[in-house]
Amino acid sequence: MSGLVDAATAILGASEKRLEIAAHNVANISTPGFKRQIGFSQLLRAAEGGDVSALPEVTVRRSFVQGKLSETRNPLDLAISGEGFFQLRAGERILYSRQGQFTLSADGNLVTPQGYILQQQGGGDLVLDKGKVTIEQDGTLLDEGRPVARIELFAPGDANRLDPVGESCFSAGPAAMDPVRDPVIRQGMVEGSNVELGDEMVQMMTALRQSEGGARLVQVYDDLIGRAISSLGQAR
């Protein structure tokens, strides 16, 4: 009997998690550089009193498929075409992101909306005298035709080992970040979220159907308990 309760609890918990993931994705459909969350079901073996059962659990991973590139004509908006992440400094931390909406701070730094500072090749804050610069495809910054700095992109050996920080940034954690050999940076463009509303609606419907299955198991359990109580009452 307890197996039905365990199964129903696991199913309802997994469906709730899937709904949370889909809702979070939809909420960030307009967030530049946001990477869609995907829920994966795993089977965990739980042993209790010698009985072993398989219970579903949802783990969350990110889809790093490139989002759509949109033209903004803002010279400090940068989009990455292909692999790679911008390297940013957030206080003492180094983060990585594909969100390329930058503005020029009073100190001459290129900063994200969160205030994170873009890093240049070799490390260190990227500092400009003015915002009107040309940024080549390989990340080289030209001031009136003169190279003044270069933006370097980094790619992890295993993107699934990146730790999310906020909605569009990541810390490397145990993942090794290596420079991208042939970076492609598009000036005057931004990368949008890779969330597709239709996919999220399908996920929501799947989660709802899954929760209905869990609710039916609870109903079956309730019916069986009711019959058992009735049988015991008649036996007396």
Q: How many CB atoms lie within 10 A of CB 118?
A: 23
pTM score of the predicted model: 0.79
What pLDDT, on a 0 to 100 scale, did the predictor assign at position 92? 92
Distance of CA 119 to the CA centre of its chain: 22
Chain mean pLDDT for the chain:
84
For residue 55, pLDDT beyond 80: no
Domain ranges for the chain, please list them.
2-64+195-235, 69-191
Cα–Cα distance between 4 and 214 in angstroms, integer? Answer: 9
- Helices and strands: H and E segment counts in the chain: 2, 18
pLDDT tens-place string over residues 28-53: 999 999 999 988 765 444 444 444 44
For residue 235, pLDDT beyond 50: yes
Percentage of the chain exceeding pLDDT 90: 54
3-state secondary structure of 170: strand
pLDDT tens-place string over residues 144-190: 888 999 999 999 988 888 999 989 999 997 668 999 999 999 999 99
Strands (E), the chain: 37-48, 51-62, 69-71, 78-80, 85-90, 93-97, 103-104, 110-111, 117-118, 134-135, 140-143, 146-150, 153-156, 163-165, 169-171, 177-179, 185-187, 189-191
For residue 143, pLDDT beyond 50: yes
What pLDDT, on a 0 to 100 scale, did the predictor assign at position 162? 92
For residue 215, pLDDT beyond 90: no
What pLDDT, on a 0 to 100 scale, did the predictor assign at position 109? 94
Mean pLDDT of 196-224: 75
3-state secondary structure of 3: helix
What pLDDT, on a 0 to 100 scale, did the predictor assign at position 210? 75
Cα–Cα distance between 118 and 108 in angstroms, integer? Answer: 11
What pLDDT, on a 0 to 100 scale, did the predictor assign at position 72? 94
For residue 130, pLDDT beyond 90: no
Q: Are 95 and 117 in contact (CB under 8 A)?
A: no
